[in-house]
Amino acid sequence: MTITRKGSVLLLEGSLSIEDSWELKQALIELKAETGPSIDLRDLEGIDLSIVQLLLCFIREVADVSLDPPVQEELRSILGAMGVLKC
Amino acid sequence: MDELLAGFLEEAEGLLENLDRAALVLEREPGNGDAIRDLFRSAHTLKGAAGLVGAAEISEVTHLLEEALENVLAGRMPFTSNLADLLFQGFDYVRELVALLASGMQADPARHVEVLAALGALRGAGHNTVSNVGPQEDSGNDYLSRLSADARAEILKASEREGMSVYQVVLKFDPEIFYTGQDPLVIVCEILRLGDVVSFVCHSESLPSLEELDPERVWVWFEIYLLAPPGMLSELRETVEFLDPASNQILICELKKEDLTSLWAGERPLSYDTGILKEILRQQKIYIEQNKGRATAAPSLERVLSLITGAVGEQDILDRRLGEPDPDWRCFNEAVNMLEAALAGGERMSAGAGSEKAGVAFTPGNVAVSGHSPSGASPDTGGRKFIRIEESQLERLFELSGELTVAKNSIPYLVRKLEVYWGIPEAARELKEKYQLLEQISRELQDMVMGLRLIPASQIFRRFPRFVRDVSKDLGKKVRLLIEGEETRIDKTVLERVYEPLLHIVRNSLDHGLEPPEERSAAGKDPEGTLAMRAGQDGHTVFIEVEDDGRGIDPVRVKENAVEKGVITPDKASLIPDDEAVQLIFEPGFSTKKEVSELSGRGVGMDVVRDTVESLGGSVQLKNSPGTGLTVRLELPLTVATTRVLVVRCGDSRYGIPMEDVQEVVRAGSDDLHGLGKREGLYLRGRVVAVTHLRNVLGYEPATGGDSHSVVILRSGSGVAVDALEREVEILLKPLPGDMGNIELYTGASILSDGSILLVLNPRSLVSGGVMQ
Amino acid sequence: MAKRVLAVDDSATVRASVRMVLEQAGYEVELAADGEDALKKIDMAAERFHLLITDLNMPRLDGIGLIRAVRSNPAYRFTPILMLTTESQAEKKEEGKRAGATGWIVKPFQPEQLIAVIRKVVKI
């Protein structure tokens, strides 16, 4: 799994879970400072509630963030149901 | 040793020093707000940093410490000497771990477990609000009662499906569940796979801000409604097999359509279930509890305020809110207490009538207010519960509800200030959220309170049979009275104010409208005349009409009378077409001074009737059939929506400025106002406020210099200087009729209680440099 | 990427059957014969395991001890751990939960049962 940031884009790849949550939190806090932030979830392969909570928190606070949904259908529908992605 | 670790070691040292220091201060002064906040922040930061570098043991220990400190901060746990001891023990152990980490050595698992066990005593005061140990605090019906109309519709539709059942699943996980190796998301997904999702909500109201979020805890809970074949209960229960029932609140049940319909059917728009009232009260209480504004109160507003003071140092705001309960919150309290008292009274009254079904917290019922007398209960009581509320209490409740509406309006201003002036957008966002919740509750409360003011038309209709009998006897007329639609509910105030006008209209019918029996026979009519009083609802308006089958109004006679009384000139009279002539009866001066109301002692003409009805926001219509009868129809608004305005004077006239646009009022001497282009500026608390003179806007002569002015500071940030301030009044705002409605300067007008007209200004146009020139 | 499972049981038969069932379901399986063996495998693993399944009665380090040791490993604080128990081991099961286990499977079990339980705890 990787969390990388390129400017105003945060790239999340592979399986993310609670063990990565502090790192993700830090990355999201830093992302808040960017204008026009976006999170690329296309290559996301795994997720858990801890990660979902962080994402929910983020989108609640940053109105103009754009999210690239995961390619994997199951993940897409989970994130949609949780309210992270707008269907 | 890598850079990240080295950085952490340094940071940890500093934080540990902080922790020691703050704890010592707090031990000496247990009430020291700064110290506890410092302590909590340091522990929280240390935990986060430890997590980042993978120092799991440190993370675990500091987690325990942070939890305890949060409880102290929130006032759930006192800072005792014992607690201090444990904390110091914890800090020392963390130092040990840091030293081990620095020297590349591993922690001793046995010792670690030992210390954790010892520090377990820190858990004394219990966990925070997300999960409660023990039995369910809410029943399935409680959740059902809180569902939105849309969700209910979906669920009802699903429950109609033949051969399928709707299941209700509520999952409130142990906030610490991650440490058991379980991911709640897996369970949720498993459940969703077992059927078709009818409704799925991930409740995130407890989700804190990103900075405060501890990602190792669960902050959200789930409410799922699933459509699946009958008998799925056991499979559903299996998904949560591993969850400890003591720390996880799980509710899984199969819903039956009849239970749903009976639960939700009890709620009609014009009556209120005790269940809903209770829920509103409960939410209000939680809100009050959370926002009492005292230093030891739970987070939310308090935390936002401390964010402000932490960043800006404007101690006075915090002080003011901490010193005594904010008057705004007192509003809440009063309103809530009154409602509770009313409910309690009602329930005591009907104790033994309804009964609590075992295991079901919700008791279907209706709350209606009996107006003036014991017989005020609706005709079809049929097992429903009623409560009696003293009228004065109700009035007070209504007032408070209105005050609440106004009081909460100062919050958006604070939000803007936080965002722009103080530059703390996170605090602004939190506050905004709380405000939205507050607004929701306040609106619901208002609606509810308004609803309590509706009483059936029968309340006034029932006075008429006697009146009609007496008057018709005096006048020697034979009249049959018909009453229809008496169950129509109308706002209490409206009904009261409309009573006298109705008396006048009925009297007119009896006096002038209905002919004596002989005349009627001669005209081929039934010697007994018919007078019908009807009430009904038409969308958002309610009507009351009085119809008689008498002479109707003779347009020729009306015009003659009008000319006679000097209401119009003969020339004018000839220009008026016959069917419009009836409207002349509304002209002031049309009624003879001899007609004096029995009740009020002053002249009651149709003009007063119309004024009264219009001041309520309604209108009067006539349907005249000369020779066959007359119908007078009063159209009335369903609720009396009032606006609060500040009455100001400009020259000899009075104008209103809506209170919701008013931030504050200040007095300014001429030398406080400085030239600022075409307008003037007022220096106020470090800012310059652009001030427009109302005189200029309205085209009056400019004020002579040397006067001091009252300046109304609007929420938009600009100010308006007026000649004098008068009072605040509550009015019924009506838009200006016809073309006048296009004038931007005014939002509308109202008739004050003394009959004068108040024009209400549109603040937006006031500060755009004035419109009239 | 397949999820990695470490299955620990002192019976070779159990180990073999668990491996067969799990590999068929698409998991990557490693085996250990007792607690100490398991800990060694964990230490040497290049990648973290996503699930640990362990019997409770084993020589050297038994199930409970293994669970405790695994939980105190920082990388495995949040890893799901399933216990293989028998009907009569109710108390041990409780002890296991207290030590940090996530859930359990009762022996003997059908393959479908094993898969079903695993799906309740393994992350998505």
B207·A18 Cβ contact <8 A: no
C123·A75 Cβ contact <8 A: no
Q: Which of B186, B189, B216, B240 to mutate to test the interface with C (most CBs of C within 10 A)?
A: B186
**How many CA atoms does the CB half-sphere of B741 hold within 13 Å?**
6
The predicted-structure confidence for B700-730, as pLDDT tens digits, reads as follows 777 665 567 888 888 888 888 888 888 877 7
**Residue C9, domain extent:** 4-121
Q: How far is Cα B734 from Cα B599, in angstroms, rounded to an integer?
A: 29
The predicted-structure confidence for C65-91, as pLDDT tens digits, reads as follows 999 999 988 889 999 999 999 878 888
Radius of gyration of chain A (CA): 11
Gap from A63 CA to chain C (nearest CA, Å): 28
Gap from A28 CA to chain B (nearest CA, Å): 8
For C77, the closest of B179, B189, B242 (CB atoms) is B179
Q: Measured between beta carbons, which residues in chain C are less than 8 angstroms from residue A17?
A: 78, 123
Q: Which of A2, A17, A79 to mutate to test the interface with C (most CBs of C within 10 A)?
A: A17
- Three-class DSSP category at B687: strand
Closest CA to B184 of B252, B245, B242, B142: B242
C104·B242 Cβ contact <8 A: yes
The predicted-structure confidence for B323-377, as pLDDT tens digits, reads as follows 344 444 444 455 555 555 554 544 332 322 232 222 212 122 222 222 222 333 3
A18·B218 Cβ contact <8 A: no
Given this model, what pLDDT does residue B110 score? 80
pLDDT higher than threshold 70 for residue B321: no
Taking CA atoms, what residue in A is nearest to B211? A29
Q: How far is Cα B56 from Cα A21, in angstroms, rounded to an integer?
A: 13
Given this model, what pLDDT does residue B673 score? 74
Q: Measured between beta carbons, which residues in chain A are less than 8 angstroms from residue B188?
A: 49
In chain C, the number of structural domains is 1
**Residue A43, domain extent:** 2-82
Q: Measured between beta carbons, which residues in chain C are less than 8 angstroms from residue A48?
A: 123-124
Gap from B431 CA to chain C (nearest CA, Å): 34
Domain contains A87? no
Q: Measured between beta carbons, which residues in chain B are less than 8 angstroms from residue C96?
A: none
Q: How far is Cα B418 from Cα B308, in angstroms, rounded to an integer?
A: 8
Superfamily for the B140-265 domain: Ribosomal protein S6/Translation elongation factor EF1B (3.30.70.60)
The predicted complex's ipTM stands at 0.97
Gap from C86 CA to chain A (nearest CA, Å): 31
Q: Let me know if domain B3-125 sits in CATH 1.20.120.160.
A: yes
Taking CA atoms, what residue in C is nearest to B244? C97
Given this model, what pLDDT does residue B350 score? 30
- CB of C79 within 8 Å of a chain B CB? The answer is yes
- CB of A73 within 8 Å of a chain C CB? The answer is no
Q: Could you give the C-alpha distances from B111 to B108, B572, C62, C100, in angstroms and in order?
A: 5, 107, 20, 17
DSSP state for residue B467 in the 8-state scheme: H
Domain segments of chain B: what residues?
A: 3-125, 140-265, 274-452, 458-637, 643-766
Using 50, 70 and 90 to split pLDDT, how confident is the model at B390? Answer: low
Interface size, chain A vs chain B, as Cβ–Cβ contacts under 8 Å: 73
pLDDT higher than threshold 60 for residue B420: yes
Given this model, what pLDDT does residue B728 score? 79
- CB of A83 within 8 Å of a chain C CB? The answer is no
Given this model, what pLDDT does residue B128 score? 32
Q: How far is Cα B717 from Cα B701, in angstroms, rounded to an integer?
A: 25
In chain A, the number of structural domains is 1
Given this model, what pLDDT does residue C89 score? 82
A19·C78 Cβ contact <8 A: yes
B contact residues 541-580, partner C, Cβ 8 Å cutoff: none
Mean pLDDT of chain B: 74
pTM: 0.45
Taking CA atoms, what residue in C is nearest to A15? C124
Q: Measured between beta carbons, which residues in chain B are less than 8 angstroms from residue A58?
A: 210
List subunits contacting chain B, requiring 3 or more Cβ pairs under 8 Å. Answer: A, C
Q: What is the mean pLDDT of residues B184-204?
A: 95
pLDDT in tens, chain C (124 residues): 789 999 999 999 999 999 999 999 999 999 999 999 999 999 999 999 999 999 998 888 889 999 999 998 888 999 999 999 987 888 888 899 989 999 999 988 999 999 999 999 999 8
The predicted-structure confidence for A26-59, as pLDDT tens digits, reads as follows 999 999 999 999 999 999 999 999 999 999 999 9
Interface size, chain B vs chain C, as Cβ–Cβ contacts under 8 Å: 62
Please classify residue A13 by burial: count the beta carbons closer than 10 Å to its beta carbon, then call 0-12 exposed, 13-18 middle and 19+ buried. middle
C78·B178 Cβ contact <8 A: yes
- CB of A15 within 8 Å of a chain C CB? The answer is yes
DSSP state for residue B194 in the 8-state scheme: T
List subunits contacting chain A, requiring 3 or more Cβ pairs under 8 Å. Answer: B, C
The predicted-structure confidence for B543-585, as pLDDT tens digits, reads as follows 999 999 999 888 888 888 888 888 788 888 888 888 788 888 8
C56: phi > 0 → left, psi -120 to 50 → alpha, else beta; which? alpha
For C81, the closest of B112, B181, B187 (CB atoms) is B181
For C124, the closest of A14, A18, A46 (CB atoms) is A46
CA geometry: angle B364, B365, B368, nearest 5 deg: 160
List subunits contacting chain C, requiring 3 or more Cβ pairs under 8 Å. Answer: A, B
Closest CA to B339 of B280, B407, B392, B289: B280
Peptide bond before residue C108 is cis, with ω within 30 degrees of 0: yes
Given this model, what pLDDT does residue B217 score? 93
Q: How far is Cα B203 from Cα B478, in angstroms, rounded to an integer?
A: 68
Q: Which residue has the higher pLDDT, B732 or A73?
A: A73
Given this model, what pLDDT does residue B755 score? 58
Question: What is the CATH T-level fold of the domain B458-637, as seen in this structure?
Answer: Heat Shock Protein 90 (3.30.565)
Q: Could you give the C-alpha distances from B44 to B50, B174, B550, C9, C72, in angstroms and in order?
A: 10, 20, 85, 40, 21
The predicted-structure confidence for B97-146, as pLDDT tens digits, reads as follows 999 888 888 888 888 888 887 887 776 533 333 232 334 456 778 888 88
Name residue C12's beta-bridge partners: none
CATH for A48: 3.30.750.24
Residues of B with CB under 8 A from a CB of A: 48, 51-52, 178, 183-186, 188-189, 192, 197, 200, 202, 204, 207-211, 213, 215-216, 218-220, 426, 429
Gap from C88 CA to chain B (nearest CA, Å): 18
Q: Measured between beta carbons, which residues in chain B are less than 8 angstroms from residue A10?
A: none
Domain contains A23? yes
Q: How far is Cα B575 from Cα B74, in angstroms, rounded to an integer?
A: 79
Q: Measured between beta carbons, which residues in chain A are less than 8 angstroms from residue B215?
A: 18, 21-22, 24-25, 50, 53-54
Gap from B91 CA to chain A (nearest CA, Å): 22
Gap from C123 CA to chain A (nearest CA, Å): 7
Interface size, chain A vs chain C, as Cβ–Cβ contacts under 8 Å: 19
CATH for C67: 3.40.50.2300
pLDDT higher than threshold 70 for residue B383: no
B182: phi > 0 → left, psi -120 to 50 → alpha, else beta; which? beta
Q: Let me know if domain B643-766 sits in CATH 3.20.20.450.
A: no
Q: Measured between beta carbons, which residues in chain B are less than 8 angstroms from residue A23?
A: 52
- CB of A14 within 8 Å of a chain C CB? The answer is yes
pLDDT higher than threshold 90 for residue B610: no
Q: B167 and B254 in contact (C-beta within 8 Å)?
A: yes
